[in-house]
Structure 1
């Protein structure tokens, strides 16, 4: 059950990051969504969504690895 919940927790930010990539790609190829006022705003929103999704997934993986103590120890 916990693996299913973990998969869902990672799936939602993954979809958000994929939608961010789609927004950036569409703005580069001049496929404009009327929700956004300018094509530059569309690209910026896509970049924010992409970075937020990747950051969440990365943070989740780092948190899991630290909890299982599989990360390398810090050297001073």
Structure 2
């Protein structure tokens, strides 16, 4: 059950990061989605979603590895 919960915790930010990549990709083909008034706003929103999603996944993995003593000495607290 714990592994399933951990997987669900990682799926949501992964989907969020994937949607951010899609928003940034669509700007190169000049596809504007409805909630955004301009292409540059869509790009900034996609970039923020990508950074938040990847940052959460990286932090989760670092926290788990610190807990199991599997990190390099420079990453230990």
For the superposition of Structure 1 and Structure 2, which TM-score range results when normalised by the shorter chain? over 0.9
Task: Name the structure 2 match of 1:15.
Answer: 15
Once the 2 structures are TM-superposed, how far is the Cα of residue 34 of structure 1 from its aligned partner? 2.2
Structure 1, unmatched stretches of 5+, are none
**Aligned residues, how many?**
74
* 1:1-76 equivalent positions in 2, closer than 5 A: 1-74=1-74
Structure 1 residue ranges (4+ consecutive) displaced by more than 3 angstroms after TM superposition: none
- CA RMSD in angstroms comes to 0.6
CA deviation map 1:27-59 (0-9, x unaligned): 111011121011000000000000100000000
Scaled by the length of structure 2, the TM-score of the pair is 0.93
- Tell me the distance in 1 between the aligned counterparts of 2:50 and 2:9: 16
Scaled by the length of structure 1, the TM-score of the pair is 0.94
Structure 2, unmatched stretches of 5+, are none
